[in-house]
Chain A
Amino acid sequence: MRHMHHTLRILPATIKNMQPDNDASVTEAVDGSVSVVFDLQINSLTAVKKAVYKFAADCAAVLSTKEPNQLEVKLSFPDTTDLVDKRAVVRAFCNEVIDQDLREQIACETEATRNLILAQAFSKTSLLQQD
């Protein structure tokens, strides 16, 4: 069977429920799967992978690169998932990618401080080797 994609035909009334808060492109295939394309110059691969992991109970995901810096995530849902639930999951998934990106930024920026705090916290214990 030919794998067809089409832009969601639920505009504009319900697009608010499906559309993510970032610029990811969202399309729904006739088999019910939903593809979301992320620009890897904006969203990191790790952030997308972490979001996929978090939504494993709601949908299965296949990741593939379409073009340089274009990451496609194809989300497949259980047959029992209705359209309303599906839209909610896709929207939450895209928002989770944004959150994961922000988490990466915060972790990177605060890593040195965190190490300093932990070293200070345990400096008077035998956990740190005394040279």
Chain B
Amino acid sequence: MIDLAVDKPGKFKTLENYNQSLKEGYKLLPFRFIRLDEERYVLTNDVGEYLVISQGSLPAFVNKTIEPGSGLYNDLKSKHFLLDDDSSIALELVAMKYRTKMQQVSSFTGLHMFVVTLRCDHSCPYCQVSRQSEDRATFDMTIETAAKCLDFTFRSPSPSIKIEFQGGEPFLNFDLIKWIVLEAKRRNEQHQKDVEFVIATNLALLTDDILSFCLEQDVHLSTSLDGPQDLHLANRPRPGSDSYQKVISGINRVRAVLGPDKISALMTTTKASLGRSKEIIDEYMRQGFNAIFLRPLSPYGFAIKTKWYQSYDVQDWLTFYFEGLDYIIELNKRGYPFVELYAGIILNKMFSPWGTGYVDLQSPAGLGISAILFNYNAEVYASDESRMLAEMGDKQFCLGNIHENSYEEIMLSEALLNPIEQSIVESVPGCQDCGFQPYCGSDPVYHYATQKDSVGHKALSGFCKKNMAIMRRLISLMEDDAEAKKILLSWVKV
């Protein structure tokens, strides 16, 4: 029999060698923490690892009295919360993981939004972009402007470019969309980037010609579906009161011609939606979707003017959201795979080695450097929300004019650099020490819109309240319900 305890020269260190290194104690690696509930803390670190420990274990850990080799010690070590003599590779590993998480920043601007018109056939009271009904000459983007926007788009160093057409209703200026798609593809023969196209449309004006073009050019469509017929009609009025029939028929036509994966839908929560999350989710399932993005109203445009935004508060929305999330988990437990996409983004931030690229939940915020918007009138904005604010008369986040300013002038403007700097959560008051920091962001446009301050006081922030509540719920679910954890982990795209 071989005596493994004998210390002989060879490939492996002896057991005593490992035990000795453990006896020499451990060092803390940088981490943050936050109370999960009355009994537990969540520990997180910069590479996105988290660990839930009891209230009593935290001071014990910090005071270095955790028993080496215990379950808690091994968890803390494997998730990079402590360093001992046996983990010399850990620092390099943590650095590599951190760099991977931050890689998206080096890719620079990927999403380029073109507002091809502000005109719209709908008259939604919650419209956040303040659509216009008439005057083609004033509210449509011109070819000259679009050409300059494409010049700008192809200056981006990102190897992947997504061009998203926004409105108003983009189909009202479909000739321009056709021109931009064909011209972008022509230019890309030289640039050889990965270019995608998406049209955000209510589908009411969908025609066979539009479908044929989208099929030929591989253009995706994204639409709005707020829930069952009565809710959708109340939220999204148009002449003829047929917005629901139009969108359902449009979804089916797109799927039949382009394929089932070429159409996605977004919902917006209004006061009338509260208490109806199950019906809304059922409607999405009935229409063949396997995911939903439960979205609150944003503080911009007609949503403010009509006071729809003020008609419910964050707590009301969280109640709505958690009812929906619980129902979706229940559906999954019953064998119907279905995803809540916002939870999915946060879970990806927790468990994927890469950043998600979701501009509101990243540090620094994705303003301009992940996504940028060209308005119909040639003005360039740091985000979709920035132009919504501008339509209310506040051009705080207007970066310049595509005809008057160069790429360098726009990307290095104070209007962009200031809010980006103010969104770095590692240094933002209230975020700096927050245990949920690795999964969160600090949306400067939201905070400016609600507090007239791009940093914002996080104790008074609806953004902060919403995200902290959701993160607490997701971690609690994963800690307390093994089946729910399995379902939530299935939403992570590794």
Interface residues of A (CB under 8 A from B): 50, 53-57, 95, 99-100, 102-103, 105-107, 109-111, 113-114, 116-118, 120-122, 125
Contacts and interface: CB of A to CB of B under 8 A. Distances in A.
A122 to B, nearest CB: 7
Contact of B62 (A100, A105, A116, A120): A105
Contacts of A122: 99
B262 interface: no
B95 A117 contact: yes
Contact of A50 (B30, B62, B433, B457): B433
B27 A113 contact: yes
A117 B91 contact: yes
Interface stretch (B31-39, B126-134, B216-224): B31-39
A120 B28 contact: no
Contact of B29 (A50, A110, A121): A110
B95 A103 contact: no
Contact of A121 (B31, B62, B99, B433): B99
Nearest to A111: B30
A104 to B, nearest CB: 9
Interface residues of B, number: 29
Contact of B429 (A53, A100, A121): A53
A121 B459 contact: no
Contact of A120 (B35, B95, B430): B95
B106 A106 contact: no
Interface in B80-109: 83, 91-92, 94-96, 98-99, 102, 106
A100 B28 CA distance: 17
**Interchain residue pairs A-B with the least CB separation, the first 6:** A120-B95, A114-B30, A110-B30, A56-B459, A121-B95, A121-B99
Given A53-B429, A100-B433, A103-B433, A113 B96 contact: no
A62 to B, nearest CB: 17
Given A103-B32, A103-B33, A110-B30, 12 more contacts: A53-B429, A54-B430, A99-B33, A102-B58, A103-B433, A106-B62, A110-B28, A110-B31, A113-B29, A113-B30, A117-B30, A117-B98
A106 B99 contact: no
A50 B98 CA distance: 27
Contacts of B196: none
Interface in B244-276: none
B457 A56 contact: yes
Nearest to A56: B459
A55 B459 contact: yes
B35 A99 contact: yes
Nearest to A21: B55
A102 B98 contact: no
A14 B102 CA distance: 48
Contacts of A56: 457, 459-460
Contacts of A105: 62
Interface in B52-68: 58-59, 62
B62 A102 contact: yes
A111 B29 CA distance: 9
